[in-house]
Structure 1
Amino acid sequence: MFVKLKYLFCAVFLLFSTSKLNAQQNFTLTGVLFEKGTTLRIALAEVKNKRTGFSAGSNDIGLFTIKASIGDTLLVTKRNFSDLQVVVKDTKDLVLYLNKGTMLNEVVVTGQTKKQALNEIKKDFRNKGSFYGGKPPLALLNPFGGSPLTFLYELFGKTPRKARRFNTMYQNEMQDSHVDQYYNKTLINQQTGLSGKELEDFLVNYRPTYDQAKNWNVYDGIKWINDSYKKYSDTAGKAKSN
C-alpha cells in the first residue's frame, strides 16, 4: 500500500512539475513602445514573435501583449521607424524604444524615380509627333474640326506603334512598382526570416497581383506576407511529413 501511494505521489509531482514548466515556457508578455529620446508612445506598431509567427499590435497608448517564451525573438515594425529586434530574457514587462527610420520612404523614392524616367520617354514620343500614344480618339475622323490624317498616322505610323508598345510596358512597370513597395525581399526577410533560394521561391510564388494590392498601405503588405508565410509553412510541413 505504501509503495502504491509513493508511485501515485511521484506521478502527481511530475504532472505538476510539467504543467509548471509549460506555464513558464509560454506566457503572456506585456510591453510598451516609445519613440527614442522622447516620451511619445507609439500606436499601431506590429510586434511579431519570429518563432511562432504570431503578431500583435500596439494600442493607442503604445501597449501590446503577445504570447512568448524565454529566448524568443520579437520583431517590432512601424512605418517611418527603424525595425527593432529584441530577445525575451525573462517574464518582466518590456519597455522598448524605436528610432525614426526612412527605409520605406526610400522604397517609395525608388519607385518614383522609375516613374520619372519612364515619363521622360513618354515625353520624347510626344516630341516626335505621337500625341495619342498610338491610340487616337475617333473624334479625329470628323472632317469638320478633326484631323483624319493624324488619326491614320497614330494608327499606322512607326513612331505611334512604338509608343503603343511602350505605353503597355509603362502601365505594367507602374503596377509592378506599386506592388514592390509593399512586397519585396527586404520586407519578406524581416517578417519571415527567409533567405537565399527559399526567399526567391516565396517572392515569386506568393506575389500579389496589382488588383489585390492597389489600395494597400504598409500594414496590408505585412499582413499579406504573414498570411502567405503561414500557408508556406503549412505546405512545407505537409511535404516533410509525406
Structure 2
Amino acid sequence: MKFSKFATIQIILILISFGLKAQDFIVKGVVFEKGSNIRVALAEITNQRTKIGVGSNDLGFFQLKARVGDTLLITKRSLTDQRIVIHGTQDILIYLIRESTMLNEVTIIGNTKKQDLEDLKRDFKNKGVYNGGKSSFLSAIFQPLNGLYNLIGKEPRNARRFGRYADNELQQSQIDVYFNQTIIKNNSELRGDTLEKYMLNCRPEFDKAQYWNSYDYIKYIKESSKKFTDTLGKGK
C-alpha cells in the first residue's frame, strides 16, 4: 500500500510533535503584576510534573526546565495564583492579578534594588563624580581639575566605597533568587533555626555561583544540606 506525500508529511509532523513533548528544555519567562506592568520579584514558579521550583529575580525573570504539556504554578503573596501550560519553547509572559481585598489597602510604588543602586550612582555623577570616583588617563589629561577632584575629593571616596557596596549587593541579589528559604525547604529537610544556620554558614560564594543555573543551585542545596545535617549529627 502506497502512502501519498501528504500522508507522509503528516506522519513526520506527528513524530516530531511526540519528540518535542518528550524532550526537556529550559523555558524562560517574566512575571508581571497585571494592570501596572510592575515586574514581580521572588514569585515562586513550580513545574507541577517535576515538583521543582525556582524564584523570579529582581527583574521578574526566571528559567526552569520543562517539556511541552507541563503546567507551571506561579504564586506570590497578595497576588492570585496562576497556572500556565507549556505549549512550546518560546519565552512566556505571566501576569498575576493583585487580590481584590488588598487593592484599597496598599499602593505599591516599587523600585528594584538594582534600580535603587543605579539611582544612587546617578546622584554621584550629578555631583561631578565621574567613572565611580576613578579617573582615566585621558580624562586626567583633558580634564585635569576633574581628575584632581577624583583623586582627593571626599565625594569620590564615597563613590568608590559605594561602588564596591553596590557591586556586592547586586551579586548577593543574584544568589538570593535561588538560595532562599522557599527553594531550600522544597529541596531539603531543614527547618527553623537549623535552616537559618545553614543559610548563614553554607551560602555559596559569588565567584562560583555566578555561572550556575537553577539546577546547579538545587544540586548544591541537596548536597550541602546533607553534609550540614550530618555535621550537626556528629556534634551531638
- The TM-score by the shorter chain falls in which range? 0.5 to 0.7
Q: SS state of the match for residue 100, structure 1?
A: strand
| Residue of 138, 155, 179 corresponding to 1:183 | 179
CA contact (8 A) 1:81 1:99 kept: no
| Residue of 72, 77, 83 corresponding to 1:100 | 72
CA deviation vs aligned residue, 1:29-61 (integer Å, no higher than 9, x gap): xxxxxxxxxxx568379xxxxxxxxxxxxxxxx
How far residue 130 of structure 1 moved from its aligned partner, in angstroms, is: 0.9
Q: Distance in 2 between matches of 1:204 and 1:44?
A: 33
- 1:98 to 1:193, Cα distance in 2 relative to 1, 3 A: farther
Q: Distance in 2 between matches of 1:190 and 1:214?
A: 22
- 1:129 to 1:81, Cα distance in 2 relative to 1, 3 A: closer
| Residue of 210, 225, 241 corresponding to 2:206 | 210
How far residue 176 of structure 1 moved from its aligned partner, in angstroms, is: 0.6
Cα RMSD for the two superposed structures: 3.2
Q: Paired residues, what number?
A: 152
Q: Distance in 2 between matches of 1:141 and 1:44?
A: 51
What amino acid is the match of 1:174?
L
Q: Distance in 2 between matches of 1:162 and 1:202?
A: 34
Q: SS state of the match for residue 101, structure 1?
A: strand
- 1:202 to 1:175, Cα distance in 2 relative to 1, 3 A: same
TM-score under structure 2 length normalisation: 0.56
What amino acid is the match of 1:43?
D
Quick check: which one's helix share is greater? 1
What amino acid is the match of 1:167?
G
Q: SS state of the match for residue 187, structure 2?
A: helix
Q: Distance in 2 between matches of 1:127 and 1:154?
A: 14
Q: Which has the higher contact order (CA 8 A, sep 6+)?
A: 2
CA contact (8 A) 2:53 2:183 kept: no
What amino acid is the match of 1:185?
Q
Q: Distance in 2 between matches of 1:132 and 1:81?
A: 33
Q: Trace 1:57-96 onto structure 2 (pairs within 5 A).
A: 76-78=51-53
- 1:101 to 1:41, Cα distance in 2 relative to 1, 3 A: farther
Q: SS state of the match for residue 173, structure 1?
A: helix
Q: Distance in 1 between matches of 2:151 and 2:63?
A: 50
What amino acid is the match of 2:52?
T
How far residue 163 of structure 1 moved from its aligned partner, in angstroms, is: 1.2
In structure 2, the residue matched to 1:158 is 154
Q: Distance in 2 between matches of 1:44 and 1:77?
A: 14
CA contact (8 A) 1:81 1:102 kept: no
Q: Distance in 1 between matches of 2:194 and 2:117?
A: 32
How far residue 103 of structure 1 moved from its aligned partner, in angstroms, is: 5.6
Q: SS state of the match for residue 76, structure 1?
A: coil
Q: Distance in 2 between matches of 1:188 and 1:113?
A: 23
In structure 2, the residue matched to 1:27 is none
Q: Trace 1:194-209 onto structure 2 (pairs within 5 A).
A: 194-209=190-205
How far residue 237 of structure 1 moved from its aligned partner, in angstroms, is: 2.8
- 1:42 to 1:232, Cα distance in 2 relative to 1, 3 A: farther
TM-score under structure 1 length normalisation: 0.55
How far residue 140 of structure 1 moved from its aligned partner, in angstroms, is: 2.7
* Structure 2 stretches lacking a partner, 5+ long: 1-20, 27-48, 55-61, 77-92, 95-110
Q: Distance in 2 between matches of 1:162 and 1:124?
A: 12
How far residue 81 of structure 1 moved from its aligned partner, in angstroms, is: 9.8
